[in-house]
Chains A and B, each alone.
Chain A
Amino acid sequence: MKSRPNWPAGLFALAWLAFILGPLIYLVTVSLRTRSEYLGKSAWAVPDALTLDNYVTVLTGGFGQYLLNNVIVTVATVGIVVLIAVPAAYAVVRNTGPFVQRGFTLILMGLAIPAQATIIPVYLMITRMQLYDTLTAIILPTAAFALPVAMLVLTNSLRDVPRELYEAQSIDGAGPLRVLVSLVLPLARPAIMTVVVYTSLNAWNGFLFPLVLTQSESSRVLTLGLWDFQGQFGTNVPALLAAVTLSVLPIFAVYLIGRRFLLSGLTAGFGK
């Protein structure tokens, strides 16, 4: 039985489209305008000419360094989280001892801790560890605050593995390490992908830890670099928006390649 078209809903969806797309169109078009045209004409006027000069300005202004720093922070954070969370999740699911179970409860309580609330003690610890103004200073707390969600997603997925599979491996004489490599890793692959997506988005977009824990240009990441451009370019809004556009491009490229993973990663563990 076919239903008739739902006009009100369709109109609402179109209005929503304008609200979502409008600012993005503004972003790209202004970034292609000359500065004099931006200052002289209405935002709605058709531009006389488009220019890529703003992008050149940004790319010659330290953008590459920020991008590189962002990649380093993201890769290192994801590396640490996966490397320590996967064996830990395996232990939580298979080791019923009180140490492991209590530790897991502690980590889950971390789901409710707002990272902002710890920024002052983290600043104290990082300066005392002589790590202030290094990329390591960003990586360590970012990874720690990614652990609760990572552990939640991984243990949920490993709990679904039938006990017999673990036992069959043991009967074959496999030690825990071999079970980890030949059973847990392959079975947890979708969950690990979710953790990778979630952690890398967080690390890539991180703002507060870089803001408080770094200072010099050489350790600046992309999000802070953008903010910095705002001061640097003053009223050069087209250049600022070119920088914003450039900062989106890497994620957009990843999105085009791994659309499925990104979407399932974003919603996994939350949606029903």
Chain B
Amino acid sequence: MSSQRPSAWYAVPAFAFFALFAALPMVLVIYLSFTAWDGLGTPQLNGGENWSRLLDDSEARASVWRTLLLMVMSWLVQTPIALLVGVWAAGKQRSRAVLSSIFFLPLLLSTAAIALLWQALLEPNFGAFVGGPLFLGDPDIALYTVVLVISWQFIPFHTLLYQGAARAVPPSLYEAATLDGATRVGKFLHITLPQLRYTIVTSSVLMLVGSLTTFDTVLILTNGGPGTATRILPLHMYITGFSGFEMGYASAIAVVLVVLGTALSIAVMRWSGFRSMSSQQEGS
């Protein structure tokens, strides 16, 4: 007697739901990128007008560069700190357990709450750094301030990943190295780092995709300003569509965002062996 298996109907509600509210919009956004639409009337096909305009749009190009800069900067700041704090917090001492539960606190705040908090903190006249640099008002440093706020929000999460992974490193490796007279730095470089390589990949993927799609932090903190100093791609799309009422053109920008996101995912999968990692994880 062959065992009775669930029919395809069990999957239909989830598939239909996803198809309607996630997959169909993906197709629609491509269609809309070939239309002129102000958000109220009916979208009218206008050929490749949005696309030829996009090719000449230096502001869109600049926002792509800002987005890439934000991704690289966020990765460079967050990865070493999260790695070091995570490995440190993996120790068994009680003080470390207490401190790591404090390190975790920013994860409880919504992005909106964090952006508002930092905006008040960095406010030039009444904030905590009166007389200091114009963190959000100086076009030369505003984007770095955004990186700072993103790091405050997300390093705690990545610290958790590294803390969990560092705890899973077999203690016997360290014991053997100690017998061989390895220094603390040597043990970190030759045991901890190699053992954490898959976690570094996972964390980096989440970080890069996260900063590619950063939106509410920047909208609230600077609204893309001063000038256009922090106008990254998702924000450029939002402002074009919902403040400038050029939904068709904004859709073309959205397609660029999808292409970037997909290219990023594919690149990371290929280059990091993410697939082989997931098969190693099975049963762990």
A in complex with B: yes
Question: Is B272 interfacial (CB-CB < 8 Å)?
Answer: no
Question: Is A95 interfacial (CB-CB < 8 Å)?
Answer: yes
**Contact call A100/B8, Cβ cutoff below 8 A:** yes
Q: Chain B residues near A19 (CB, 8 Å)?
A: 152
Most A CB within 10 A of own CB, among B13, B25, B117, B160: B25
Select B23's contact among A106, A211, A266, A271, beta carbons within 8 Å. Answer: A106
Specify the chain B residue showing the minimal Cβ separation from A212.
B242
Q: Chain B residues near A159 (CB, 8 Å)?
A: 282
In Å, the complex CA distance between A134 and B160 comes to 36
**Contact call A16/B24, Cβ cutoff below 8 A:** no
Question: Is B46 interfacial (CB-CB < 8 Å)?
Answer: no
**What are the interface flags for B143-168 relative to A under an 8 Å C-beta threshold, 1 for contact and 0 otherwise?**
00000000010001100110011001
Select A117's contact among B29, B117, B203, beta carbons within 8 Å. Answer: B29
A107 with B5, Cβ < 8 A, contacts A20-B156, A207-B111, A252-B108 known: no
Question: Is A3 interfacial (CB-CB < 8 Å)?
Answer: yes
**Contact call B23/A110, Cβ cutoff below 8 A:** yes
Chain A interface size, as a band, is 35 or more
> Chain B nearest CB: distance from A88 CB in Å?
4
**Contact call B24/A90, Cβ cutoff below 8 A:** no
> Chain A nearest CB: distance from B258 CB in Å?
5
Q: Chain A residues near B103 (CB, 8 Å)?
A: 16-17, 20
In Å, the complex CA distance between A99 and B244 comes to 42
A115 with B202, Cβ < 8 A, contacts A141-B21, A267-B164 known: no
Question: Is B7 interfacial (CB-CB < 8 Å)?
Answer: yes
A270 with B32, Cβ < 8 A, contacts A17-B103, A99-B8, A180-B6 known: no
> Chain B nearest CB: distance from A178 CB in Å?
10
In Å, the complex CA distance between A128 and B102 comes to 46
**What are the interface flags for A146-173 relative to B under an 8 Å C-beta threshold, 1 for contact and 0 otherwise?**
0110010000000110000011001100
Specify the chain A residue showing the minimal Cβ separation from B202.
A270
**What are the interface flags for A81-121 relative to B under an 8 Å C-beta threshold, 1 for contact and 0 otherwise?**
00111011011101101011001101100111111111111
Question: Is B107 interfacial (CB-CB < 8 Å)?
Answer: yes
Question: Is A223 interfacial (CB-CB < 8 Å)?
Answer: yes
**Contact call A266/B254, Cβ cutoff below 8 A:** no
Please choose the segment from A37-45, A46-54, A55-63, A185-193 that sits at the chain B interface, where 4 or more of its residues have CB less than 8 A away: A37-45
Question: Is A73 interfacial (CB-CB < 8 Å)?
Answer: no
In Å, the complex CA distance between A118 and B208 comes to 19
Question: Is A135 interfacial (CB-CB < 8 Å)?
Answer: no
Q: Chain A residues near B135 (CB, 8 Å)?
A: none
Q: Can you list 12 A-B contacts (CB < 8 A)?
A: A3-B178, A9-B88, A12-B88, A21-B105, A90-B10, A107-B14, A114-B209, A179-B4, A204-B110, A222-B110, A270-B161, A272-B168
- Interface, chain A (partner B; CB < 8 A): 1, 3, 6, 9, 12-13, 16-17, 19-24, 26-27, 30, 38-39, 42-44, 80, 83-85, 87-88, 90-92, 94-95, 97, 99-100, 103-104, 106-107, 110-125, 140-141, 143-145, 147-148, 151, 159-160, 166-167, 170-171, 174-176, 179-180, 204-205, 207-208, 211-212, 222-224, 226-227, 230, 237, 240-241, 244, 247-248, 251-252, 255, 263, 266-267, 270-272
> Contacts A88-B11, A119-B238, A208-B215 given; 7 further ones with Cβ under 8 A?
A13-B99, A23-B121, A38-B126, A94-B6, A117-B29, A230-B116, A241-B117
